[in-house]
């Protein structure tokens, strides 16, 4: 049984055909062609498929495509705005937060979700926010460093805007 | 090639530059094979053995082939049978094609749960999965052999009826589960141990662990009507994949192209082929492009993890703490197919120290587990878990500082390696001096709620050199373009862009480095053995210098002087002739592009080894109620020769240590008696999360390797060697108990506290 799933993906209204057994991960990768979201385990254990569903990080492999109906979804392809990288992305680049890159989209979205709600997260808060994202290359230090740097640059951006 | 003076003023090499491909990675645009599609593509799935040890009586694919949407079915009958002993020339010792053929598809017998027995291609992955269920395989079960001890038992079922142990003084008359015995010996170990002032004796057991790359194996294969085949792969070696696929399918390498896409982690597990030959065969049979993406469950049971091991160590020292003998017996669990080499781990266990009397004896043992493959410094962590604990025990017996004991015995440049050759330049004593002066060693441990301890361990890894090739062209606006024959596994495009920019005296933004495919680049060995950065740097350096010479000849014409009078620096050609003009590389290329391409090659073979050596210090707290071990502080000291990019070097060290700590504490395959893997998910096979690890401090030491461009050493492998031993030594200092079974899970720590040395659950 296939049905149409209407949802907003990265700011665009989409109508996508999905089978009843299909997950949000399949909807994004196979139906919407957004292959930036990665499949590492299909079991909710690795976090490589993390996307934001109405602003909250979820494992797309654990959400049925049908459950995304009416939702606002942000994938890694929608994090940069108007050709400008998000501070989290910029910080991952500058601080060596990405190596093989397979876990990176999920990590960037978990970090973005954290910084959307916490301005000055502690190291423990950062580590907790990314604890659902396995990374096998970095040992996490440079990821934590990148998230901390992104928080600082976002705070600096805010105070600049307030001053102007 | 001339080595560059270590103190010379490098402008791009040695700087903390971001990865040149980081932008693609943080935006989701980096392309891995699972993300790649071809028109008309279908999806392959692999049917895997449900028996650990059984004869295949029949495989009936009739119903699967008849299912609507199925376009091809293959079994071992579709592949040529590869005779025992067939090898292909690749790497230092060649690849065993017979082994690769059984990893590809079982023939007559299945050797582990998860070994492929058939495969299908269908219009979508769900149809392919249904088709797998319709394939009927009939087995005659045989008793599985599930541990090294069980495999060595006198009445053990013999897994391979032909397997006569190689390397014994007298060839045995009957088959066994031991593939080979390897001996490295010098001096008189028995006499030295008999007269030693102290002897430490230790048996350790290490469980199978997995590389745990986040990207499951994935491939897209397409066969043209002409017979030409293209494979888009996630591989550590495009040429290795090409040779294996060609060998396993009986294809000519000239009719096959392997295109390396991004690789989502390999760590040794993506050198041998897994789904690639099957995908090609399905593509040939169906006439459609075929994609195969393994599930995580398939990765756990169907790819090549790291070898389980049992190691018996005896080390003796005299009253002054000088090592007089190292006696080690190493049993490596090869899994269902023999041929796992033992020599590298044997060397790793004795190489850091000077010792006259050695007896290192290795055995390659067959069991009914997945065939093991390389994992980052393969065997190193198992060896160090045994030897570095034994060294620590000696220090305790002699009442000597463990660092001082190691310093007294440290191998130095020119001392004898286990294999009998002299050590190339190494900096172990420098490393130990740095440890001795560092706060991680000098600061006293703070008191905690539970016992705490500090552990030290040294690690050695030989690494390798082999072959790397590249070529350099120059664009019409004067920008150097490098094409490498080796895969970028760990940031090679970035470090090679640094090398090319350095050689040309340009900015890193003015050069471009890409991975070639097997039809556009020169043969290079796999990205493995900590070799690519070092050897490709030599190749890139050579190619750039040759390209500059070619450009000088052109510049000479323009500058109206002899080529020998042309000098080049930072993108400008000038002449030493009085009143001579100058021309930029951009102007020169613009003016002369159509006169012919600048093409320069660089090939590096047999570069001197850049042996890796490091020392790690670890503080732990052991919860004596639960057995939980918490890492409080971790510092890794490593001699890297020269850091081409310190951020990348730290990234390698931190990631490598994290993998070592994972294996040390939580990662181990748990098989039941029937050979079923009980923890085949990333929930139950527990890799460290960001909350499990402390910050890992890196202390980079630079003792350049002579006669190697930029003096670079291998980096990525050795940091996985010491962690388990450092943790075990810290645990021993905390609670006075030696951990002999790895991973050192909470229940094993509790059992050890209660006096069961092997942490058995019985």
User: What are A31-58's pLDDT values in tens digits?
Assistant: 999 999 999 999 999 999 999 999 999 9
Tokens 């971790």 belong to which residue?
A: B634
A107: which 2 tokens? 């990590």
pLDDT at B3: 37
pLDDT at B94: 86
Which chain B residues contact residue A105 at CB under 8 A? 26, 28
Q: Hey, is the C-beta of B63 within 8 angstroms of any chain A C-beta?
A: no
pLDDT at B4: 39
pLDDT at B229: 98
pLDDT at B1: 30
User: What are B518-564's pLDDT values in tens digits?
Assistant: 999 999 999 999 999 999 999 999 999 999 999 999 999 999 999 99
Question: How far is B615 from B384, CA to CA, in rounded Å?
Answer: 11
Which chain B residues contact residue A21 at CB under 8 A? 126
pLDDT at B541: 98
Q: CA B374, B377, B380: angle at the middle one, nearest 5?
A: 110
Nearest to B693 among A48, A76, A139 (CB): A139
Asked whether the beta carbons of A28 and A65 are under 8 A apart, the reply is: no
Q: Which residues of A132-161 are buried (b: 16+ CB within 10 A; e: fewer)?
A: bbbbbbbbbbbbbbbbbbbbeebeeeeeee
Question: How far is B588 from B572, CA to CA, in rounded Å?
Answer: 9
Sign of CA dihedral B405, B408, B412, B415: negative
Q: Within 13 Å and on the Cβ side, how many CA atoms surround B697?
A: 17
Residue B214 has what DSSP assignment? Answer: S
Question: How far is B674 from B145, CA to CA, in rounded Å?
Answer: 9
User: What are B382-412's pLDDT values in tens digits?
Assistant: 999 999 999 999 999 999 999 999 999 999 9
Question: How far is B179 from B158, CA to CA, in rounded Å?
Answer: 11
Backbone angles phi, psi at A59, to 5 degrees: -85, 110
Q: At a CB cut-off of 8 Å and minimum separation 6, what does A149 contact?
A: A91, A94, A95
Q: Hey, is the C-beta of B630 within 8 angstroms of any chain A C-beta?
A: no
Q: Hey, is the C-beta of B509 within 8 angstroms of any chain A C-beta?
A: no
Please report how the helices B380-398 and B343-350 are oriented relative to each other, as an axis angle in degrees rounded to 10. Answer: 30
Q: Within 13 Å and on the Cβ side, how many CA atoms surround A78?
A: 18
pLDDT at B757: 57
User: pTM for this structure?
Assistant: 0.97
Cis peptide upstream of residue A7 (ω within 30 degrees of 0): no
Which residue ranges in chain B fall short of pLDDT 70? 1-8, 756-762
Residue B289: C-alpha distances to residues B36, B48, B286 (Å): 11, 22, 8
In this structure, how many other beta carbons lie within 10 angstroms of the beta carbon of residue B206?
27
Whether the per-residue pLDDT at A113 is higher than 80: the answer is: yes
Inter-chain contact A92–B695, Cβ cutoff 8 Å? Answer: no
A27: which 2 tokens? 């909807």
Which chain B residues contact residue A140 at CB under 8 A? 654, 658, 689-690, 693
- Of B377, B371, B330, the closest CA to residue B182 belongs to B330
The nearest alpha carbon in chain A to B295 belongs to: A41
pLDDT at B8: 62
pLDDT at B90: 80
Interface predicted TM-score of the whole assembly (ipTM), two decimals: 0.98
């Amino acid at each position: 049984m296939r049905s149409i799933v209407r949802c907003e993906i990265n700011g665009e209204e989409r109508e996508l055909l999905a089978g009843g057994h299909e997950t949000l991960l399949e909807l994004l990768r196979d139906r919407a062609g957004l292959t930036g979201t990665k499949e590492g385990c299909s079991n909710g254990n690795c976090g490589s498929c993390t996307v934001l569903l109405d602003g909250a990080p979820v494992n797309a492999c654990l959400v049925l495509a049908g459950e995304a109906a009416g939702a606002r979804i942000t994938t890694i392809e929608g994090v940069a705005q108007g050709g400008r990288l998000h501070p989290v992305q910029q910080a991952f680049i500058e601080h060596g937060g990405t190596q093989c890159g397979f876990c990176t989209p999920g990590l960037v979205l978990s970090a973005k979700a954290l910084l959307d709600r916490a301005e000055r997260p502690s190291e423990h808060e950062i580590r907790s926010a990314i604890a659902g994202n396995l990374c096998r290359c970095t040992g996490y230090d440079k990821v934590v460093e990148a998230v901390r740097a992104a928080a600082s640059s976002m705070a600096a951006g805010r105070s600049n805007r307030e001053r102007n | 090639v001339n080595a560059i003076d270590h103190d010379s003023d490098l402008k791009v090499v040695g700087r903390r530059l971001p990865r040149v491909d980081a932008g693609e990675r943080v935006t989701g645009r980096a392309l891995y094979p699972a993300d790649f599609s071809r028109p008309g593509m279908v999806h392959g799935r692999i049917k895997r053995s449900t028996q650990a040890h059984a004869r295949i009586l029949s495989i009936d694919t009739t119903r699967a082939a008849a299912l609507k949407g199925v376009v091809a079915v293959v079994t071992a009958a579709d592949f040529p049978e590869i005779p025992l002993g067939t090898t292909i020339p690749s790497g230092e010792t060649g690849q065993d094609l017979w082994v690769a053929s059984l990893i590809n598809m079982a023939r007559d017998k299945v050797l582990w749960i998860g070994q492929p027995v058939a495969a299908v291609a269908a219009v979508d992955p769900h149809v392919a999965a249904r088709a797998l269920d319709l394939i009927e395989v009939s087995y005659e079960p045989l008793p599985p052999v599930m541990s090294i001890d069980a495999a060595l038992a006198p009445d053990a079922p013999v897994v391979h009826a032909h397997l006569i142990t190689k390397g014994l003084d007298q060839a045995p008359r009957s088959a066994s589960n031991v593939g080979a015995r390897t001996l490295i010996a010098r001096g008189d170990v028995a006499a030295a141990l008999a007269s030693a002032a102290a002897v430490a004796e230790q048996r350790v057991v290490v469980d199978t662990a997995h590389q745990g790359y986040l990207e499951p194996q994935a491939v897209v294969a397409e066969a043209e009507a002409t017979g030409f085949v293209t494979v888009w792969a996630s591989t550590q070696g495009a040429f290795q994949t090409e040779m294996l696929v060609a060998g396993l399918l009986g294809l000519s390498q000239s009719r096959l192209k392997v295109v390396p896409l991004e690789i989502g982690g390999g760590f040794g597990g993506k050198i041998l082929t897994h789904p690639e030959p099957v995908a090609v065969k399905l593509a040939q049979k169906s006439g459609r492009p075929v994609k195969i993406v393994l599930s995580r469950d398939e990765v756990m049971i169907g790819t090549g993890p790291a070898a389980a091991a049992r190691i018996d160590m005896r080390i003796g020292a005299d009253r002054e703490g000088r090592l007089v003998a190292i006696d080690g017996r190493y049993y490596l669990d090869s899994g269902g197919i023999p041929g796992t080499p033992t020599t590298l781990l044997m060397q790793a266990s004795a190489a850091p120290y000077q010792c006259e009397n050695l007896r290192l004896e290795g055995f390659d043992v067959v069991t009914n587990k997945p065939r093991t493959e390389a994992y980052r410094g393969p065997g190193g962590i198992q060896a160090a878990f045994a030897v570095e604990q034994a060294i620590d025990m000696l220090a305790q017996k002699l009442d000597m500082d463990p660092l001082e004991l190691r310093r007294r015995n440290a191998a130095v440049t020119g001392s004898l390696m286990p294999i009998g050759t002299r050590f190339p330049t190494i900096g172990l004593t420098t490393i130990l001096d740095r440890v001795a002066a560092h706060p991680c060693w000098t600061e006293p441990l703070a008191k905690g709620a539970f016992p705490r301890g500090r552990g030290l361990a040294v690690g050695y890894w030989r690494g390798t050199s082999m072959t790397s090739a590249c070529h350099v062209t120059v664009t019409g606006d004067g920008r150097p373009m490098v094409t490498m024959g080796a895969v970028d596994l760990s940031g090679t495009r970035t470090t090679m862009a640094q090398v090319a920019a350095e050689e040309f005296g340009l900015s890193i933004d003015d050069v471009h480095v890409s991975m070639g495919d097997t039809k556009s680049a020169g043969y290079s060995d796999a990205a493995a053995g900590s070799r690519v950065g070092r050897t490709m740097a030599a190749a890139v350096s050579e190619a750039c210098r040759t390209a500059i010479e070619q450009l000088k000849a052109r510049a000479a014409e323009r500058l109206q002087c002899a080529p020998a009078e042309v000098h080049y620096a930072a993108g400008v050609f000038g002449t030493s002739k009085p009143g001579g003009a100058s021309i930029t590389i951009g102007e020169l290329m613009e003016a002369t592009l159509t006169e012919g391409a600048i093409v320069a090659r660089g090939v590096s073979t047999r570069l001197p080894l850049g042996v890796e050596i490091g020392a790690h210090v670890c503080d732990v707290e052991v919860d004596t109620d639960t057995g939980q071990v918490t890492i409080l502080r971790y510092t890794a000291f490593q001699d890297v020769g020269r850091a081409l990019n310190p951020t990348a070097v730290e990234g390698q060290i931190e990631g490598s240590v994290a993998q070592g700590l994972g294996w040390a504490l939580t990662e181990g395959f748990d098989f039941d008696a029937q050979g079923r893997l009980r923890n085949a998910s990333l929930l139950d096979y527990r890799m460290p999360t960001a909350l499990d690890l402390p910050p890992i401090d890196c202390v980079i030491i630079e003792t350049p390797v002579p006669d190697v461009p930029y003096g670079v050493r291998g980096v990525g492998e050795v940091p996985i060697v010491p962690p388990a031993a450092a943790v075990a030594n810290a645990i021993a200092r905390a609670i006075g108990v030696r951990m002999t079974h790895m991973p050192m899970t909470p229940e094993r720590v509790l059992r050890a506290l209660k006096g069961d040395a092997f942490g058995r659950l019985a």
